[in-house]
Amino acid sequence: MPTSTRHLATAPSNADVSRYALRLGDDALISAQRMGEWIAAAPQLEEDVALGNIALDLLGQARALLTYAGQLEGAGRDEDDLAYLRDERQFLNAQIFELGNGDFGFTVARLLVTSTYQHALYAGLRHSADSTLAAIAAKAVKEVDYHRDHATQWTLRLGDGTAESHRRMQQGVDAVWPYVSELFESDALTTALAASGVAVDPNSLEEQVLVYVEQVLTEATLTRPEATVRHTGGRSGIHTEQFGYVLAEMQHLARSHPGAKW
């Protein structure tokens, strides 16, 4: 069973826990891919290293979550199969993670939001009735705490810096904001798993995440925008046009040489 002895009377199915782990793993995997694209392209040499380390943290989280999802699925698929051999509609990450890096201000704004969300998520998931998810979260929360701090410091530096850095940082926040609400969407899966003590209801995270983000934006002399458009669909396999390019780059080698070992 996927749960520990603390589980409630009605234990969730392996299929449901697998799908939940897959969602979280896909968030981390696609975020790692995007962060890794900044290596040798960041505005400072130190930032190349910092974003590379963040990407490695996220990749480690993705590996643990995808491995567990594959084990629970019981179809013989491992982390590599799930990362490299699924098609676009089979990925369940929120759309915010797949958006192109664009300007550095956009990447910082996205990292501020996503790392704050992941920090709140993993902090709650440490108490999951599923012992494997709890163990993954206990390690991951320490990593994303650093990611959040890194994004916070850059937001403050750029937002309260020069007129140009302020403009570009605000522009990044404005571009990210229509994709934020999807992180907090609940559905039948998360509601049921949260009720059983396995998952964290994403809707319960919205207030604490947005309070932190808004505090940072205010200190950085930036304005929290009002989202007139709210993009959604990633959790059910609906993705942006940019996602196909991410997969093409990430999966090219594995699909070109099926079964190859390194």
Cβ atoms 202, 121 nearer than 8 A: yes
Q: Is the pLDDT of residue 158 over 80?
A: yes
Residue 135 to residue 126: CA distance in whole angstroms: 7
End-to-end Cα, the chain, rounded Å? 33
What is the C-alpha radius of gyration for the chain, rounded to an integer number of angstroms? 18
Residue 67's nearest CA partner among 136, 124, 1 is 136
Residue 70's nearest CA partner among 83, 87, 89 is 83
Q: Is the pLDDT of residue 38 over 80?
A: yes
- Quick one: average pLDDT of 214-223? 98
Domain spanning 14-256: CATH superfamily: Ferritin, core subunit, four-helix bundle (1.20.1260.10)
Give percent helix, percent strand, percent coil of the chain, each to the nearest 5: 70, 0, 30
Q: Is the pLDDT of residue 256 over 50?
A: yes
- Percent pLDDT > 70 in the chain is 96
pLDDT at 227: 79
pLDDT at 261: 73
Q: Is the pLDDT of residue 9 over 60?
A: no
- pLDDT band of residue 228 (cuts 50, 70, 90) is confident
Domain map (residue ranges) of the chain: 14-256
- pLDDT band of residue 1 (cuts 50, 70, 90) is very low
Q: Is the pLDDT of residue 115 over 50?
A: yes
pLDDT at 154: 98
18-21 contacts, C-beta under 8 A, 24 or more apart: 18/68, 18/69, 18/70, 18/72, 18/73, 19/69, 19/92, 19/189, 20/189, 20/190, 20/193, 20/198, 20/199, 21/65, 21/66, 21/68, 21/69, 21/72, 21/133
Q: Is the pLDDT of residue 249 over 70?
A: yes
- Quick one: average pLDDT of 36-53? 92
Q: Is the pLDDT of residue 8 over 70?
A: no
pLDDT at 4: 46
- Percent pLDDT > 90 in the chain is 89
- Quick one: average pLDDT of 197-204? 98
pLDDT at 118: 98
pLDDT at 262: 65
- Quick one: average pLDDT of 169-177? 97
Q: Is the pLDDT of residue 20 over 50?
A: yes
Residue 97 to residue 59: CA distance in whole angstroms: 13
- Quick one: average pLDDT of 144-148? 98
Residue 26's nearest CA partner among 253, 237, 262, 259 is 237
Least confident piece of the model among 36-45, 54-63, 102-111: 36-45
pLDDT at 44: 87
pLDDT at 212: 98
